[in-house]
Structures are given as C-alpha cells and as structure tokens.
Homo-oligomer: A and B are copies of this chain.
C-alpha cells in the first residue's frame, strides 16, 4: 500500500522530502551544492538520504527564504549558530523591513487606483502622471525633513527619478540626509568650513547635488537656493519640534558656508 517505506531506517530520499515540504527536487540539489543542506546519509548507489535532523534545518532554510533572505544570507545564519536572542533580533529587524515594503506597496496600490480613475475620467492615458503620483505619495512622509523647504520646481523636476529609482525617495535623498548629519557633527566639533574636512564635505555635497539635479543648470541654481533658505519657511517648520528645527538650521547654515567656499575655489573646474 505504501510505496515509500522500504528505504533505509528513518531516512527519506530527495523526492519524498520534496513532496513533503512542497518544494522541488532541484531545489534540494541546489541547497546541497551550495552547502546549505547536505543530507546526513547516502545510499550505496549514491542517493541522498535525509534524516529528521536535516528536516529541521530545511525548515529553517525555507522559513528564512519565505522571509526574503537570500540563500547566501541564510547560509551564514545557519553557520553562526545563533542564540534565541539573536534570532529574535533578526526577526524584529526583518519585521521592520517588511513594514516598509508594505508601505511602498500600499503606495503603489494607491497610485494604480488614482491613475485608473484618471484614465477613466479623462479617457486618455498619460503615464507621466503615474510617476507624479508615486513620487508625491513618497514625499508626503514627515520623516524626510531633508527636503521640506525645497523649491517646488526642484521637486517637480525630480519626480520621475524619485518614482523610478529602485529605493524610491530614500534611494535619492538618503545620501543627502547623511551629509546633513555630518554637517551638524562637524559644526559641533568646531571644524572650520574652509578646512580640509570641511571642503571634503563640500565636494561630496556638490556631487550629490549634481546627481540629484542631473546637472541641469536651472535646477542646480534653484536647488542651491533651496539649501540656503532652509529654515525660513515658517509653515513647514511648524510640525517639527524645537530640537529638530535647530538641527536643520545648523545643517543648512554649515552646508551653505562650506559650499560657498568650495564653489569659489572651483569656479571653472569640474
């Protein structure tokens, strides 16, 4: 009655294990070759024989895969023999990652539906709108104080970039945000804007600005302007607490100083 039974004691072949776990034989072969799961037994003819111990490991592999880990990451985790606390920490981190994915997927959903409405209402298709919608949804996040006071022309000009870049908004503005934080640190450390470190910051900052504006002259000018007038806008600042506001102003001020010197020195070059 039972086709699979006479195979060695307590062992399963690839096919049996695959069926049981809902994966393919090829996947098991792959995991073996990649060193993720080598069966603990072998038949005389060279068949892979998996034991219960192997199944436990396979469960871990599949669970982590379901969580979005790459096989390579899974492998290192398997070797690292982590304690329950480590596991809990990793799970918590992953939960956060999933949450942000959920958020961006939700944005996408909204964008699709808004676009659909547009298409039906206007009886015409304009996919450029899609980028605008996606970008605007992403820019709404209060979290990104980085750009609160940018000229709206600048923001308009980069919508496509924000929408289509692999990591969306963050992918574009995260580097800039880091530079802002650096600027604050340097200000607090009393590093002079015309010092080597200050000018190094300026150089990287200018590079980022170029990247973001795409070298477009008009946008470049407006972008610069936006940087220097950060903090003047009362309305936008209303939602921030004092500490944050303070930081923003310091960063803005320091970046401005540093840039002015940098650009004066490198007028023609670069």
Interface residues of A (CB under 8 A from B): 1-4, 16, 19-23, 56, 59-60, 62-67, 82, 84-85, 87-88, 91-92, 94-95, 98-99, 101-102, 105-106, 108-109, 112-113, 115-116, 119-120, 122-125, 127-128, 130-131, 134, 158, 160-165, 172, 214-217
Residues from chain B with Cβ under 8 Å of A20 in the complex? 160-161, 214
State whether B108 touches A63 (Cβ < 8 A).
no
CA distance A56 to B98 in the complex (A): 33
Residues from chain B with Cβ under 8 Å of A130 in the complex? 59, 63, 66
Chain B residue with the shortest CB-CB distance to A18: B214
State whether A91 touches B66 (Cβ < 8 A).
no
State whether B113 touches A106 (Cβ < 8 A).
no
Residues from chain B with Cβ under 8 Å of A63 in the complex? 127, 130-131
Residues from chain B with Cβ under 8 Å of A94 in the complex? 112
Would A105 and B101 be within 8 Å (CB), given that A123-B84, A130-B66, A131-B59 are in contact?
A: yes
Least Cβ–Cβ distance between A188 and chain B, in angstroms? 34
CA distance A21 to B130 in the complex (A): 13
Residues from chain B with Cβ under 8 Å of A122 in the complex? 84
CA distance A23 to B131 in the complex (A): 13
State whether A164 touches B21 (Cβ < 8 A).
yes
CA distance A120 to B85 in the complex (A): 7
Would A217 and B1 be within 8 Å (CB), given that A56-B128, A84-B120 are in contact?
A: yes
Residues from chain B with Cβ under 8 Å of A125 in the complex? 82, 84, 87
State whether A172 touches B87 (Cβ < 8 A).
no
Of B2, B64, B172, the contact of A217 (CB 8 Å cutoff): B2
Residues from chain B with Cβ under 8 Å of A3 in the complex? 215
Residues from chain B with Cβ under 8 Å of A66 in the complex? 108, 130, 134, 163-164
Of B23, B123, B134, the contact of A164 (CB 8 Å cutoff): B23
CA distance A99 to B1 in the complex (A): 44
Least Cβ–Cβ distance between A113 and chain B, in angstroms? 6
Residues from chain B with Cβ under 8 Å of A115 in the complex? 91
